[in-house]
Amino acid sequence: MIRYSEIFPALRGRGLSVGHTAEVLDRLGLFADDRTPTVDRWLEHKLDGVTPGIRRTVEDWARVLVDGGPRAQPRARGTARSYLNEVQPLLLEWSGQYDHLREVTRKDILTARDATSGHQRENRVVALRSLFRHAKKTGQIFKNPTTRISIPRPVGPVIHPLNQGDIDEAVTAATRPHTRLILALAAVHAARPGMIRAMQLDDVDLGNRLITIADHIRPLDELTHRLLVDWLDYRRTRRPNTANPHLLITQKTAVEFGPVGKLWATEATRNFTATLERLRVDRQLEEALTHGADPLHLALVFGIDEKTAIRYAASARQLLASEAEEHHGRS
């Protein structure tokens, strides 16, 4: 058996690929990976100086975030890192006073919350809720001190609709089959660029006039239906033998299985005011203005979460109120 610690210095000194060599040795049954797992190194660095009683609970929580557990789905690595980064200063502070998380009081949580502001305050409370919820569920604390602690949320700015001239400029610039389809998916179905890039052929049901975007099934309007037919004809003519299951493909991705690049998908509107993201936002705002600023309606139509739907509905109500006041003043 050949250990990773043996081949790493020898291959790196000669400029050879450690990963490829390790893969070959592993397939031959000769490789022993003696590296310290990345998660272990990360936790060792982040929890240095934390008292053992608190550290055990926090380490167990962090591993569940990364790897999942019984009745708990793993979170994205970025989320786990963000949570631990947010609570690390508090853990070091509490380690000077307490031996275990069960000694942390509601007053400590309120003090930690009020020491920050804005998005950092919200992120801190969310991370602390996750930590103490896990500790309570696993029986490591008796009472959750984060229960019923609110987060003062700042009032966001009012979202304003795009000018018709900006929209016309983007529409005029979309001259190719894929750019016209991408524009329609953003402007009609409020799809994010990432959602559009991830769409697959199976998400399009032309016969039943249905389209699936981010697991949300929507009726297919006449404009998008026509643009889909045009693009699929173009795709079949230019890349008849591709096995890529994605709806959108390029010359490069036609011989692969992955999605198109972000720059390729957004190039048509990149230098305009009406970017794909602004068109998406404008579509959801337009729906809110048309249907009386109903958050439930927005959530059902676009598959967005309730907080986003409430934000669009609030902007629509303010715009409608301003328009009514202006009309009343003119009268």
Q: Specify whether 168 is located in the same domain as 315.
A: yes
Q: Please report whether residue 153 resides in a domain.
A: no
Q: Specify whether 196 is located in the same domain as 265.
A: yes
Q: pTM of the entire structure?
A: 0.62
Q: Report d(CA 75, CA 64) in Å as an integer.
A: 8
Residue 67: the pLDDT is 87
Q: Please report whether residue 145 resides in a domain.
A: no
> Do 108 and 144 form a contact (C-beta atoms < 8 A)?
no
Lowest mean pLDDT among 236-245, 258-267, 274-283, 304-313: 304-313
Q: 202-213, pLDDT tens digit by residue?
A: 999 999 999 999
In the DSSP assignment, the letter for residue 203 is G
pLDDT band at 329 (very low <50, low <70, confident <90, very high): low
> Do 266 and 275 form a contact (C-beta atoms < 8 A)?
yes
| Domain termination residue (choose one: 122, 137, 152) | 137
Closest-CA residue to 86 (of 43, 59, 122, 56): 122
Residue 85 has pLDDT above 90, yes or no: yes
Task: Name the residue range of residue 282's domain.
Answer: 164-324
Q: Please report whether residue 235 resides in a domain.
A: yes
Residue 18: the pLDDT is 87
Q: 55-68, pLDDT tens digit by residue?
A: 999 999 999 998 88
> Do 125 and 149 form a contact (C-beta atoms < 8 A)?
yes
SS3 content of the chain, % helix, strand, coil (to 5): 60, 5, 35
Q: Specify whether 206 is located in the same domain as 111.
A: no
